[in-house]
Homo-oligomer: A and B are copies of this chain.
Amino acid sequence: MTVTHDMIRRLSRYKTVLKRLKSLGFVKVFSDNLGDALGISASLVRKDFASFGITGNKRGGYQVEALLVKLYEILGKNCSQQIIVVGCGKIGTALIDYNNFKQDGIKVVAGFDVASDIITTEGPAPIYDISELEEFIRREQIQIAILAVPESAAAHTADTLIHAGIKGILNFAPIQLKGPSNCIIRNINIRMEIEHLFCLIHFQEKDEAINE
């Protein structure tokens, strides 16, 4: 079986939806429901599950609890998801204290920055000098970092992170970073997203058809 990033992404989204359904008291769920929630077809949902040996009943129904157990097995239960934030400017600082992380057990355990005046042990997480970054990652066995440094510092900071053992980076610097095989980098380029929306709107206004 070939597992793709997109497939893992969908499994991860199924897991999120199923956790919500469980908390709402749901016992069963249909592939149609999950398809609707993810904006994909029910048959793709069934195909994803079948790839991992999960089959529903005849009517396409699955037991929520059993599905979750299986997804935890595949994806990890993520009881303690400790991450760090590197670059504590506006976006970095906002993410250190990001409420939306909390309900899923993601915890920002430290921030790092080059600016000595923002080093602090107060606040939602301590902010350390960037010189302590590598040792901290090794000692605390951190796997994931959010990169929110300026564009000019992004590439070499990412190298430092990877060298220290980071396995996944969520990059907010407005530059496309590519990771080596032992580190997955997801680029979130907010400026490009806005540019892209303006381009799509301009294009649509010329009354030309765009497909999803």
A124 to chain B, nearest CB (A): 10
A83 and chain B: residue at smallest CB distance: B194
Task: Determine the distance from Cα of A199 to Cα of B90 in the docked complex, in whole angstroms.
Answer: 28
Say yes or no: is A11 at the interface (Cβ < 8 Å to chain B). Answer: yes
Contact yes or no, A76 B192, CB < 8 A: no
Binds B, one of A26-34, A42-50, A94-102, A131-139: A94-102
Residue in chain B with minimal CB distance to A176: B39
**CA separation between A69 and B12, bound complex, in Å?**
42
A24 sits at the interface (CB 8 A):
no
Q: Which of A150-184 contact B (CB under 8 A)?
A: 150-151, 167-170, 174, 176, 178, 184
Q: What is the bound-complex CA distance between A167 and B210, given in angstroms?
A: 14
Q: Chain A 125-148 against B: per-residue CB contact (8 Å), 1 yes, 0 no?
A: 000000000000000000110100
**A37 close to B (CB within 8 Å):** yes
Do the beta carbons of A90 and B81 come within 8 Å of each other?
Answer: no
CA distance A208 to B37 in the complex (A): 28
Whether A190 sits at the interface, judged by CB under 8 Å, is: yes
Give 26 A-B contacts (CB < 8 Å), ordered by A residue. A4-B210, A8-B196, A8-B199, A12-B196, A15-B195, A15-B199, A16-B192, A16-B195, A39-B178, A74-B203, A75-B203, A76-B203, A78-B198, A78-B202, A91-B98, A94-B94, A95-B190, A98-B190, A104-B191, A144-B197, A167-B204, A168-B198, A168-B201, A184-B204, A186-B197, A188-B188
